[in-house]
Amino acid sequence: MRFRGKLEKAQVAITFRDLILLPGKAYFEPREVDLRTKVTINYGLNIPFISSPMDTVTESEMAIALARLGGLGVIHRNCSVEEQIEMVKRVRRAESFIIRDVITISPDDSVEHALELMHRHSISGLPVVENEKLVGILTGRDVRFANPLLKVKEVMTKNVITAPQSITIEEAKRILHEHRIEKLPVVDENGKLVGLITFKDILAREKFPNAARNEEGQLLCAAAVSPFDIKRAKALDKYVDILVVDVAHFHNENVMSSTKQLIENVSADVIVGNIGTYEAAVDVITKIENVAGLRVGIGSGSICSTYEVTKAGSPTLFATAQVADALEEYGVRMPIIADGGIRSSGDIAIALSLGAWAVMMGNIFAGCRESPGTLVAIGGRYYKQYRGMASPSARARRFAIDRYAVPAKEIAEGVEGWVPYRGDVASVVKELVAGLKAAMGYAGCKSIPELWEKAKLAWLTPTGMEEMKPHSIYLPGETGRITP
């Protein structure tokens, strides 16, 4: 009976295409839907979309663009620590209310050196600092016609208008306007320079009111790490809000104990994954302290060959429901990220209905202009390169080795190919948002927590699936046949 029992107890591992979202009574219009959510216990998003940490999906350009739109990009780790830190710093520098790593100059330096610094960093002003204290400011106007051999202290502006650390954006705007200045150094109670506010950064903030930001007003920034690379995690910790422990099978004793140590060594919020079962979720929440989010789903990704190679996996929807129930039963409120297999806004709506707080997408974002993959023309159409992080070529890059193949695993579990070019991520996100809001309108759910509470699902038979998409019509540009 032991083995027959196994068969009898086999669960149905549902996937995206098995289910349909049932209509429910709506008391609002789709445009009123609120898509705000959380990605970790401490950080919120304005749209529930995250891009995968993959080397054909997320580098700085994608991370900046997505954060500006209200989502999040997780910088991949298939590179050296230095390269990953550089990408993260670019996100950090993209916009901030108060810049923290301010480039400064000393009063005894030459004007020539100041000009060189301004040119090298493409900046138009430098706070002048002596023994950490702010003693002046040098602007483009001060040095434009000055003799390059003069000392900074001879040409700098001495009576600097400063701001305390507690300043708000509105106050900063008022001061910048009142004094007709473009830069406002931030000092502590001892006169030590601790930051800089610039007019340019305030303008950029206003251009992206929906952006996902941290408490400092910087674009939210996340990076992936191996659970065994605590050194990398510590190096990144200075610059990121969120670290994502990035392994194919997190429910593994070594991975879990190393992650425990990693979390103790960093101050960023740590998301862990991927997991796919109720038991894994229980183990994570009961055995590892201070986990800030869970990434779930194994084998559903469009470039995954894990299932083909191993017959193992936990499709994203199945995994999401398992993990969501575990958290609910243990009374833990923690963001769940449904990762892999998403092809449309409808898929996103179903993942959220089954307990996800946000979704992670690789394929969809790989096709955008902001992804790092190469753009090619094939047969008169544009495509971008997309590869699994366990594909042969990604594995060949040294740093991929520890995600899917802690040396014992000597087999590729991913494929590589091309995805249709989709243009700017902003237009892709706009379409996904509109589709998701429409789906939530049908379901009668105005917010993500309402989807958890009220959304109802139904099974679709394979024949029903044929009916629930365009049919009996010739679609130009498709296969050239009349669809059944």
- Chain residues that interact with ligand XMP, rule: CB under 6 A: 52, 54, 248, 274, 299, 301-304, 306, 339-342, 360-363, 388-391, 413-414
Distance from C-alpha of 465 to C-alpha of 15, rounded to nearest angstrom: 13
Cβ neighbours of residue 417 closer than 8 Å, sequence gap 6 or more:
303, 385, 386, 387
The CA distance from 119 to 302, in Å, is 45
Residue 312 to residue 119: CA distance in whole angstroms: 55
| Least distance in angstroms from the C-beta of 362 to ligand XMP | 3
Cα–Cα distance for residue pair 136/370, rounded to 1 Å: 40
The single residue listed with the structure tokens 């003069």 is: 150
How far apart are the C-alpha atoms of 33 and 196, rounded to whole Å? Answer: 37
Q: DSSP secondary structure string, 198-231?
A: EHHHHHHHHH-TT--B-TTSPBP-EEEE-TT-HH
Smallest separation, CB 404 to ligand XMP (Å): 6
DSSP at 41: S
Contact 428, 368 (CB under 8 A): yes
Q: Which residues are catalytic?
A: 304, 403
The minimum distance between CB 388 and ligand XMP, in angstroms, equals 2
Q: Which residues contact 247 (CB under 8 A, 6 or more apart)?
A: 226, 227, 255, 273, 274, 402, 403
